[in-house]
A and B are shown apart, each in its own frame.
Chain A
């Protein structure tokens, strides 16, 4: 699971870019499964799913829209109503919400390759 050391984050968003290339073959941070939230100038925070064993987001979802597929959490967009209870439930502030659909997107770990971890220039992200 990916862990973020927010203090090291400079907010460069290379993680977002590489994620969109990996999954969509184009550069579009808005499609990324990882997100940088900026509180200029003092903080940049990485939002990414940690793949909890007992995910609070699943518990919180009334519509059973979050399921585990091949070991990773995934959103069923048909079931999801974008109520975003999952965002509130996550104790790690780890749920990314798509600005296109308004619904959550979960990290699929690039088949455990974690390209965001690999490309992060400051080792903000690490996998455990």
Chain B
């Protein structure tokens, strides 16, 4: 039985207070739907309204908004996503984190567009949601256990076809970039696992049996059919991605100098000959895995068949982690990357930040800033044993691992000695697997991303390097501001819809708009412009949120290494990012003032005028 009030939505929001073991269920307000759509949009609106400014992200005052969107759990391709919004313990600002797989559809089918999680449980707790039934159960028996083992035990207890959100030992001890795991996927970035840990919430179990209603069945089926066909013919979603997963671009990114090597010291990675997507495909990928309703199956199950990591496996390794535990650490041993990724998931650490911090630590060691005595073992670039040790140390908070698990910003602050120049983060979030010196747009994307350095708020490389229209030059500043702004707004729509960003590589904005229209029948969403306006509204509101937490224009920047320190060799030899030019233009296009504050007129236009800058 589906909700007939609003098509495409479950129609209810569940608010849970862990402090009092109490909950309320309310109708999803229509103005929230129309203006903020779902997912990230719901998170932005609810957190801005309800979160106490300046609160400690790891205190019981922090709130987690776990939200689906209208397209989640539908026939729309790649609709298995779900969004978590909170104040990040890693950055102290806005965080939205996204998880693929099957959790989103399950939550919606349990009858909820979102769960708002408040307070702090007195003892380790498992929140169990089965349709109308909501209960707070004792989680002490699985506290301390790995994520995969915990999920196995929960499955035995609560039934085969449940979906989970679960933290591991790293989240329990509030490591600043702990993640939340769901099946083989996770809410990766920004430390949402630490927030869950601070609330004594070990896991959420979800099971639902309700359906999702469709406004215009024929129209919806038509657009879905078209979307599936488009995805099949795209060179990306119908070619490279199904075969190689997200690693389809791996070799090329190295060729283009856009793959950072050894903590962004160079753009040259000679080991690419034995460490690349072809080797992964032939030697390690055992089968393809898809998320809910996704024909692309970018995910792979990998296993190591020989050598010192024999028998280790992971769902992955994805492009980002091939970098973070690979080239970032000068490491080309794929077995160790597979094992490392598995360990990150098992302990509950974000593998991007994990690898970034390890690369930083290795550079500190090679520069003599951290000694072998301080660390306990030698950690030159390329030392795969050290990578594995570091992951465990960070998860458990052992030795130097405790400092490392606070993130690269905090680590460089404590170490001093000029390390802030090569602490590769923006606003406290570790930079992922693209070097902006190989494509300037990514520099602006990182500097203006609302959750700190992130490649999923704008991903400019396609347009900059593989541009068919012949307009862009990766090493120029022209057109980049417009590109980044437009992508940020559109990606905010996708992240509120909530579907997978990879649809972007096969579908157009028109497909998403038409799909939303036929599914929901919401009259206010007539054109693509209407939809993009929602994205712009959300992006401005997350900006206001972070400004309220203390960021300003001076934080919209990049590490010194990218701005002042050109690489000495390779395809980007001699290049540094000209951020200022792009940033000025970006503020202008966004109608933000020189301090990076959204202008009054812009806020009025977006219906955000009641929010103060």
Q: Do chains A and B touch in the complex (CB under 8 A)?
A: yes
For residue A91, CB closer than 8 A to chain B, the reply is no
How many angstroms between the C-alpha atoms of A12 and B73 in the bound complex? 11
A31 and B211 in contact, given A25-B217, A41-B313 (Cβ under 8 angstroms): yes
User: A83–B344 Cα gap in the complex (Å)?
Assistant: 43
Digitize B279-292: 1 where CB-to-A-CB distance is under 8 Å, 0 elsewhere: 00000001111111
CB-CB < 8 A to A10: which residues of B?
Answer: 287-290, 297
B residues less than 8 Å from A41 (CB atoms)? 184, 287, 289, 301, 313-315
A117 to chain B, nearest CB (A): 15
| Pairwise interchain contact B293-A12, C-beta atoms closer than 8 A | yes
17 contacts between A and B (CB under 8 A): A10-B297, A12-B294, A12-B297, A13-B102, A14-B295, A25-B217, A26-B2, A27-B2, A30-B209, A40-B289, A41-B314, A42-B287, A99-B161, A99-B209, A119-B228, A121-B228, A122-B295
Kindly list the 5 A-B residue pairs having the minimum CB-CB distance in the complex, ordered from nearest. A28-B211, A121-B295, A26-B211, A12-B290, A10-B290
Say if the beta carbon of B183 comes within 8 Å of chain A. Answer: yes
Q: Tell me whether A20 is interfacial, beta carbon within 8 Å.
A: yes
In the complex, the chain B residue whose C-beta lies closest to that of A43 is: B287
A18→B184 contact, CB < 8 A: no
Q: Which residues of B contact A44 (CB under 8 A)?
A: 289
Chain A residues near B295 (CB-CB < 8 A): 12, 14, 121-122
B497 within 8 A of A: no
Q: Measured between alpha carbons, how far is A28 from B295 in the docked complex, in Å?
A: 18
Q: A27–B212 contact, CB under 8 A? A: yes
CB contacts (< 8 Å) of A69 on chain B: these are: none
Report how far A17 CA is from B2 CA in the complex, Å: 14
Q: Which residue of A lies closest to B220 (CB)?
A: A21
Not counting A12-B295, A28-B210, a sample of 8 additional A-B residue pairs whose C-beta atoms are within 8 angstroms of each other reads A12-B297, A17-B75, A21-B75, A27-B211, A28-B2, A30-B211, A44-B289, A122-B295
Q: Hey, which chain A residues are within 8 Å of B207, CB to CB? A: 99
Provide the bound-state CA to CA distance between A14 and B313, in Å.
27
Q: Which of A12, A18, A30 has the most CB of B within 10 A?
A: A12
For A42, the chain B residues whose CB sits under 8 A away are 286-287, 301
B54 to chain A, nearest CB (A): 41
**Is A27 a contact partner of B73 (Cβ separation < 8 A)?**
yes
Give Cα A11–Cα B214 distance, bound, in whole angstroms: 24
| Per-residue interface assignment for chain B, residues 287 to 325, with 1 indicating a CB less than 8 Å from any chain A CB and 0 otherwise | 111111111010001000000000001110000000000
Which residues of the partner chain B approach A24 to less than 8 Å between Cβ atoms?
211
**Chain B residue nearest to A24 in the complex (CB):** B211
Q: Is the CB of B228 within 8 A of A12?
A: no
Name A40's contact: one of B74, B211, B286, B315 (CB within 8 Å): B315
Scoring A14, A24, A44 by chain B CB atoms within 10 A of each residue's CB, the highest score goes to A14
- Kindly state the separation between the CA atoms of A77 and B228 in the bound complex, as whole angstroms: 36
Query: B184, A40: Cβ atoms under 8 Å?
Result: yes
Complex formed: what's the CA distance from A44 to B184 in Å? Answer: 14
Q: Does B109 interact with chain A (Cβ within 8 Å)? A: yes
Q: Report the separation of the CA atoms of residues A41 and B101 in the bound assembly, to the nearest whole angstrom.
A: 12
A27 to B210 Cα, complex, angstroms? 9
Cα A40 to Cα B207 with chains together (Å):
18
A67: min CB distance to chain B, Å: 26
Instruction: Specify which chain A residues have a CB less than 8 angstroms from the CB of B301 in the assembled complex.
Output: 41-42
Instruction: Count contacts on B: residues with CB < 8 A to the other chain.
Output: 38
Docked-complex contact A11 and B290, CB < 8 angstroms: yes
Q: Hey, which chain A residues are within 8 Å of B291, CB to CB?
A: 12
Of all chain A residues, the one with the shortest Cβ separation from B108 is A27
Q: Mark A58-79, 1 if CB is under 8 A from B, else 0.
A: 0000000000000000000000
In contact, B2 and A14 (Cβ under 8 angstroms): no
A16 to chain B, nearest CB (A): 9
Q: Is the C-beta of B213 less than 8 angstroms from some C-beta in chain A?
A: yes
Q: Which residues of B contact A20 (CB under 8 A)?
A: 211
Interface residues of A in 44-67 (CB under 8 A from B): 44
Chain B residue contacts of A18, Cβ below 8 A = 75
CB-CB under 8 A from A29, the residues of chain B are 105, 109
Q: What are the interface flags for B90-131 relative to A under an 8 Å C-beta threshold, 1 for contact and 0 otherwise?
A: 000000000000100100010000000000000000000000
Residues A94-128 near B (CB distance < 8 A) = 99-100, 119, 121-122
Shortest C-beta distance, A45 to chain B (Å), equals 12
Residues of B within 8 A of A25 (CB): 214, 217
Cβ contacts under 8 Å, A119 to chain B: 228
Q: How near does chain A come to B247, taking the closest CB pair, in angstroms?
A: 17
A41 to B209, CA, bound (A): 24
Q: How distant is the Cα of A75 from the Cα of B217 in the complex, in angstroms?
A: 28
Query: Are the C-beta atoms of B184 and A26 separated by less than 8 Å?
Result: no
Residue among B105, B228, B232, B293 facing the most chain A CB atoms (10 A cut-off): B293
Q: Give CA–CA (A20, B105) in the complex, Å.
A: 14
A98–B109 CA distance with the chains assembled, in angstroms = 15
Residues from chain A with a CB closer than 8 A to the CB of B209 are: 28, 30, 99-100
CA distance A41 to B313 in the complex (A): 9
Residues of B within 8 A of A21 (CB): 75, 214, 217, 221
- Report whether B294 and A28 are in contact in the complex, using a CB–CB cutoff of 8 Å: no
Within 8 A of A (CB), among B139-162: 160-161
Question: Which chain B positions have C-beta within 8 A of A17?
Answer: 74-75, 293
Q: Closest CB of chain A to B298's CB: distance in Å?
A: 10
0/1 string, B188-218, CB within 8 A of A gives 1: 0000000000000000000111111110010
Given A10-B297, A18-B75, A121-B295, does the pair A26, B290 have CB atoms closer than 8 Å? no
Q: Which residues of A have CB within 8 Å of B211?
A: 20, 24, 26-28, 30-31
A41 to B300, CA, bound (A): 9
Cα A24 to Cα B109 in complex, Å, equals 15
Report Cα–Cα, A40/B287, bound state, in Å: 11
CA distance in complex: A99, B161 (Å): 9
Smallest beta-carbon distance A122→chain B, Å = 8
CB neighbours (8 Å) of B315 from chain A are 40-41
CA distance A66 to B221 in the complex (A): 33
Give the CA-CA distance A105 to B60 in the complex, in Å.
Answer: 46
Find B293's partner among A14, A40, A122 (CB 8 Å cutoff): A14
Query: In the bound complex, what is the Cα–Cα distance between A19 and B613 (angstroms)?
Result: 49
